[in-house]
Structure 1
Amino acid sequence: MKRLAVLPLALAMAFSAHAASTTRYLIISENAGKQIGQQIVEHRDDGMTKVSFTYKDNGRGPELTEQFRLGADGTMTEYAVKGNSTFGAVVDERFTRRGDHAEWKSTSEQGEKIVSGAAAYLPLNSSFEVQSVAIAALSKAADGKLALLPSGTLSQSELDKVEVAGPNGQKQTVRLLAQTGVGLSPSFYWATEGANPRLFGVIIPGFGNMLEEGWQPAAKLLAERQKIAEQKMLTDVANRLQHPLSGLTVVRNARIFDSDKATVGQPSDIYVLRGRITAVLPAGAPVREADNTIDAAGRIVLPGLFDLHGHVDRWSGALNMSAGVTSVRDMGNDNHQLQAMLDETAAGKLLAPQVVPAGFLEGESPFSANNGFVIKDLQGAKDAIDWYAERGYPQLKIYNSFPKAILKDTVAYAHSRGMRVSGHIPAGLRAQEALDAGYDEIQHINQVMLNFLAKPDTETRNLNRFVLPAEKVADLDFNSKPVKDFVAYLAKKQISIDPTMATFAFLKQRDGDINEPYASVASHMPPDVARGFAVGTMKIDGDAQLKRYEKSYAKMVQFVGIMYKAGVPIVAGTDDIPGFTLHSELALLVKAGLTPAQALQVATRNGARYTRTSNERGSIVPGKLADIVLVDGDPTKHIEDVRKVSAVITRGYVIYPSEIDATLGIAPFVTAAPQVIKTSTPVAGIYGGSNDGARARIDTTARKRD
């Protein structure tokens, strides 16, 4: 869903009775196998194209209408889109180009530019038909590149070609195209052949597909071919950016963060062999026959960071690695896609963190999220739990539409299979009732706040679960007995809370303002990504409502601090852009009242504790996995320094964020990285002795955006 929501999407509901041609695309959920949306494209005789796009999943989705006209070079000369985005924000955007003068205006920005030659405007919200236009324009570009407005370059390459069968025995050949230059990962589209190619369909693994009506049976074949082509690209990325550490490696002169005490120790040398820590000795201790040394040069060294609320995909690993996130708890995914990714990571074919999976369990309703298992009854819930338990899932996540009548028995069965249970609060219940049924953890600060706001008949499976806390928390008295009693209960029962404050900052974002969690990273991001940070998500009517939402959000952050100080376990999760958002979550924990060192403790020790991996992760001690993050500055004093990751060691590889940043078109947060120095002969001396070892070669990859 996330990937679909951020891709350009949009369209139009009214159609001319004399349309030159109309193409209808259906959006089908992969897990449920049902239609959840559509895109209808009408090409009119007067040269105007009108599009209508809508989809609904998990009680939300965009509804957009769009129209545009093309110039002689195949790019848009006028464009307009109206409607609402996934979370209800108003969409109203226009673009025109007259000769060399281009100008645009939306609810979040406006600008103009003098441009010569072909250039494609990139809307902030649009339909997939915008990609169809780009496919045709790029097919005519000799170098496979197209200038973007306001800035950037879109590139396109062909990865595969296959014949598919459709209605009434029709057959046609379609091509798999990869586009780069928009976002932080490639986008894949299936297109027709010929002099004027157009979009045929989109396959989004784990979510679903959008194909021309009547060609839905081709989805399985296209998904298989796309996976093979995509895997080749991913394997190449992994081979280039993961540098194996063969033999014994010593990370010397490291100031280790003790995640149990939340303090930094004296300089030490860390010994790593086959992905595990074998020893931690005082800096300068004799080293015998080390194969590699890495001079930390007095840097702070953290245990690998945990993101306890991710939804991983095959391209998110680079962002996590760049941010020092070596472990992610996946909180909802397509089961078979996730299992495949776990296998690919274990085989070294995927640049990815270590994933701790949480089994996703939802009930049937018009608001259902289509991840994991969607069940009807207790037996279905038990069957799903058995599937997860047999595959080693340590946790179960229950979602909004889960039948409340079977909640207690479901939780008890999950506990009997050795699983923790967490989730959203099923519709019709308050958080306290879910805890009474046996919940061990609650996801999201809004789900906690709804305990004091929702009534038995409150519909919380739609946008109400966001709007109600934004409207009402401002007036909530944290000193009232119900609130104090609830916090005391959480602390007594040691119920962990996964607040994901960074992702909920959208509740109070005004169109045109950079959302708070992205303010520190926007200047480092590619231009099109930075543009998106200023696009509002919620529908906010005027200054008075904005101030109310700001007050509510500030109180939610405050409440996280209240819970922490009362002894309620807090974990750090994102549910947002991988990697960088975790740093923002830690900054918000500090804003809530934690010290920077305590925030780091939440992202290390607590991460391991509440994924049941403390025996292997969460601290830098002998016998544990060598998940090690070298950081410039001192994040135990200044939490923003956690963004200055210079090197990451995990799964027997050393990974350099500077290389990842260069690949993704991100301006680096650090420029100097500690190099691996290989020792050519056995050594028995201080720091491994000889300085004659050659530095490991670092291949800086070309920027994808160009």
Structure 2
Amino acid sequence: MKRALALSLAMILAGTASAAETLRYVALVDNGKQAGHQIVTTGDDGVIRVDYLFKDNGRGPELKEEFKLAPDGTFGSYHVTGSTTFGAPVDESFGRDGNKAWWKSTSDNGAQEVEGTALYSPLGGTPAGFSVAFAALAKRTDGKLPLIPSGSLSTRKVAEAEVSNGKDTRKVQLLAITGVGLTPTFAWATQGESPRLFAFIVPGWVQLIEEGWAGNGVALEAKQKQAEADTLVAFQQRLAHPLKGSTLIRNTRVFDSEHATLGAASDVLVRDGRIVSVTPTGGAARADNVIDGGGRVLLPGMFDMHGHLGRWDGGLNIATGVTTVRDMGNDNATLQQIMAEEKAGTLLSTRIVPAGFIEGESQMSARNGFVIKNLDEAKQAVDWYAEHGYPQVKIYNSFPKALLRDTAAYAHGKGLRVSGHVPAFMRAQDVVEQGYDEIQHINQVLLNFLVDDKTDTRTLQRFYLPAEKVADLDFDSKPVQDFIATLAAKQTVIDPTLSTFEFLRQRAGQMPESYAPVAAHMPPDIQRGLKVAEMKIPDDATAARYDRSFRKMVEFVGRMYKAGVPIVAGTDAVPGFTVQSELEWYVRAGLTPAQVLQVATWNGAKYSRTLADRGSVTPGKLSDLVLIDGDPTKNISDIRNVAVVLKGDTAYYPSEIFDALGIKPFAAPAKVGAGR
């Protein structure tokens, strides 16, 4: 789901071609499998029409875009229609007459006075918008392009390459685009006075590239990854504060994650990335560095148990107190590279626990990890993950149900845990019986009561069925109670990702409850984007039903927890901030704040098999520590007030990271001072 957001970022920028010209792009996944297209046609009337389609993992946007350009290269008029990744309608327009500009989408509308050049930034546009931005920027002498409704766009060339289609060669440039989103966006453009989009690549996932030039995609992706790495090295060097010698965190209340209790004031001594001692405050301990805890709460670093890591995610995770992420499905080569950069200390990153992705071959397969057709291939995938130190595998939607029991047994024989989605034409109780140790997502759990052996949950039905039907489920009925009892007896772990699934009930223009507490800290374009709905909700009655269904999903998590079913906290969405909102949902489900903190720390370490060196503030363990203003054991929302984060022998100040990302900080830093 997070990857759908990555492509949406490109759409926010929402090539052009010369008159009466058609320019075609292909969208490729899994080393060459076509998953969509973009066709850009400029008519004799000057109207540019874009047909955009992208389908991966049984979902994706379909958009029709029309616009005319003003003399300065920006949108004079603009209109896009179609549907989002999950089926919500897209209908967005923009117009400008002199200094008056107006816009209207399904989630917002507005008007403002605009002087001079300014580019409208669509909420639901296509990647063709890169071309408009590049050409308009090329005409600017100051290197900045004002945006409507707010902000400005700029680009910086970070690499170039020569490409060939067998007949022709050309030079293209990799541009780092800033001003939209929280981190730079990278895109390949042609060179010259009027550059346009040549390729948009999300490494490890998708390559959108001009038709006929796709053979250059692998080389461009490799060059892009190296250019991004150079940028990221500088980012880490600027924000990391290495701790030399020993460091004393004085006068802090330590959260005992094993017992979910808050201790008395203590001093915590760390050295060489490990916790040395935890003693009553005021002792005679000396250290090279000192952090004044000031009575703040000290937590072990938190876990995000459901990430799909990108190289820019580390900043948001670390700044929000997340020091370990379990990656739940990625391109294997990309994840191996991220893990290597993290270990080398060149990447601002959490620690990483990898889960190996195994999918079955179908027209709706997600193209991550290994896509298999038979048991031998499934075993080969398990072998690869075991050899590379993965503690578990994740099975996905198209995995052949006839192979599940034997594959799970084989993985267990290799010492790996087994988790995942419930494959199509199966129910959650089937996968638990056949060897799952864990199930991802609350919808996958509750589909147990909504499907039969003919329901194809590889489609959007896996979202719309729970939205429609969970509202009417009787949680006290025998089938539901028996299933909860089975999960508890088998200690099957549940990874609910409630914050992510709030999109099931979000209406256009509505700020999700999950992000409302942080929205005002975000740049204006992010605030605007948070109000875009993904589900098709045609009327108030449907909205009320979907809302009841979501609230019952929250309730179900509380019922499982109280019955003894292990819960872990994951995101599958915006890094960091979604962990915080996930914890708030668990409090609403009936857990105490202290129990929720235990889920985010002790449970994370236990079920990622890292409890030996993480998950608690204990001598000998890694000094992954988070200092919090306030008391999150009483008010879970205080979890946002992160004053300082230690990841081993490095300190990070969230306020510095947030400033670098354009986010208003949440707490003043507790800085490292000289010791005595």
- TM-score, with normalisation over the residues of structure 2? 0.98
Matched with 2:395 is 398
> Is 1:650 matched with 2:654?
no
2:47 corresponds to: 48
Per the TM alignment, residue 105 of structure 1 is displaced from its structure 2 partner at its CA by: 0.3
SS of the aligned residue for 1:439 comes to coil
Letter in 1 for 2:141: A
In structure 1, the residue matched to 2:275 is 277
| Cα distance in 2 between the residues matched to 1:140 and 1:665 | 26
Q: Does 1:365 align with 2:367?
A: no
Task: Tell whether the 8 Å contact from 1:310 to 1:573 is kept in structure 2 after alignment.
Answer: yes
Q: Supply the AA of the counterpart residue of 2:25.
A: Y
Q: Equivalent residues in 2 for 1:110-129 (5 A)?
A: 110-129=109-128
Corresponding position: 1:677 with 2:676: no
Change (3 A) 1:405 1:56: same
Does residue 24 of the first structure (1) align with residue 24 of the second (2)? yes
**Amino acid in structure 1 at the alignment position of 2:670:** P
Note closer, same or farther for the CA distance 1:661–1:307 as it changes in structure 2 (3 Å cut).
same
Cα offset, 1:143, TM superposition: 2.2
1:497-528 CA-to-partner distances (Å, cap 9, x unmatched) read 00000000000001111011111111000110
Deviation at 1:651, TM superposition (A): 2.7
Q: Distance in 1 between matches of 2:216 and 2:37?
A: 17
Matched, 1:138 2:124: no
User: For the residues of structure 2 that align with 1:302 and 1:359, how far apart are their CA atoms?
Assistant: 29
CA distance in structure 1 between the partners assigned to 2:369 and 2:32 by the alignment: 13
The 1:491–1:71 alpha-carbon spacing in structure 2 relative to 1, beyond 3 Å, is same
Which residue number in structure 1 is paired with residue 191 of structure 2? 193
1:158 is matched with which residue?
A: 157
Instruction: Tell me the residue number matched to 2:7.
Output: 5
- Opposite residue 221 of structure 1, the aligned amino acid is A
Out of 244, 248, 253, the residue aligned to residue 255 of structure 1 is: 253
Q: Return the letter of the residue paired with 2:432.
A: L
Contact 2:364-2:398 at 8 Å conserved across structures: yes
CA deviation vs aligned residue, 1:577-622 (integer Å, no higher than 9, x gap): 0000000000000000001111111000100010011101100010
- SS of the residue 1:516 aligns to: coil
* Pairwise CA RMSD: 1.5
Match of 2:512 in 1: 515
Residue 240 in 1 paired to residue 238 in 2? yes
Q: Is the 8 A contact 1:10 1:52 kept in 2?
A: no
Q: Secondary structure at the match of 1:560?
A: helix
Aligned-pair CA distance for 1:568: 0.5
2:383 corresponds to: 386
Whether the aligned pair in 1 keeps the contact of 2:317 and 2:575 (CA below 8 Å) is yes
Q: How big is each residue's C-alpha offset from its partner over 1:73-115, in whole Å with a ceiling of 9 and x where there is no partner?
A: 1100100000000010100000001100000001100000001
Give the deviation of 1:11 after TM superposition: 13
Identify which of 335, 338, 343 aligns with 2:335. 338
Q: Are residue 82 (structure 1) and residue 81 (structure 2) matched?
A: yes
- Give distance in 2, aligned partners of 1:32 and 1:500: 29
Deviation at 1:496, TM superposition (A): 0.6
Q: CA deviation at 1:32?
A: 4.6
1:558 pairs with one of 555, 560, 569: 555
- Assess if the C-alpha contact under 8 Å between 2:13 and 2:180 holds in 1: no
* Alpha-carbon distance between aligned partners in 2 of 1:54 and 1:473, rounded to the nearest angstrom: 31
Partner of 1:666: 663
Residues 5-24 of structure 1 show CA distances to partners (whole Å, capped at 9, x for unaligned) of 32243999xxxxx9710000
Partner AA of 2:457 in structure 1: T
Residue 260 of structure 2 contacts residue 598 of structure 2 at CA under 8 Å; is this kept in 1? yes
Does 220-229 or 121-130 show the bigger shift?
220-229
1:536 aligns with 2:536: no
Identity of matched residues, %: 57
Match in the other structure for 2:586 = 589
Whole-angstrom CA distance in 2 between matches of 1:8 and 1:90: 18
User: Does 1:489 pair with 2:486?
Assistant: yes
Evaluate the alpha carbon distance shift between residue 131 and residue 660 of structure 1 in structure 2; reply closer, same or farther with a 3 A threshold.
same
In structure 2, runs of 5+ residues without a counterpart are none
Q: Deviation digits for residues 651-696 of structure 1, max 9, x if unmatched?
A: 31000000011101101111x21111124xxxxxxxx3xxxxxxxx
Cα distance in 1 for residues equivalent to 2:566 and 2:464: 26
Q: List per-residue Cα deviations over 1:191-237 (Å, max 9, x = no partner).
A: 11111111111121010211111111111221121112111100000
The DSSP-based 3-state class of the residue aligned with 1:80 is: strand
Q: Distance in 2 between matches of 1:256 and 1:530?
A: 35
Query: Aligned letter for 1:64?
Result: L
Report the AA paired with residue 38 of structure 2.
Q
User: CA shift at 1:163, angstroms?
Assistant: 1.3
In the alignment of these two chains, the number of paired residues is 673
Contact 1:10–1:51, Cα closer than 8 Å, also in 2: no
SS at match of 2:520: helix
**1:142, CA displacement in angstroms?**
1.6
Q: Is the 8 A contact 2:64 2:80 kept in 1?
A: yes
What is the match of residue 697 of structure 1?
none
Q: Could you tell me how far apart the structure 2 residues matched to 1:409 and 1:149 are?
A: 56
Q: 2:423 aligns with which of 419, 423, 426?
A: 426
Verify the 8 A CA contact 2:395 2:419 in the aligned structure 1. yes
Q: Distance in 1 between matches of 2:11 and 2:63?
A: 8
1:462-489 CA-partner distances (Å, limit 9, x unpaired)? 1000000000011100111000000001
| Equivalent residue letter for 2:273 | G
In the aligned structure 1, how far is the partner of 2:215 from the partner of 2:6?
Answer: 21
* Structure 2 SS opposite 1:578: coil
Unpaired stretches in structure 1, ≥5 consecutive residues: 13-17, 680-687, 689-706
Distance 1:261 1:322 in 2: 26
Q: Distance in 2 between matches of 1:141 and 1:300?
A: 50
**1:13-67 per-position Cα deviation (integer Å, ceiling 9, x unaligned):** xxxxx971000000010x2521000000001121110000001100000000000
Q: Is the 2:324–2:350 Cα contact (8 Å) retained in structure 1?
A: yes
Q: Distance in 2 between matches of 1:666 and 1:40?
A: 36
Partner of 2:36: 37
AA at the equivalent of 2:671: Q
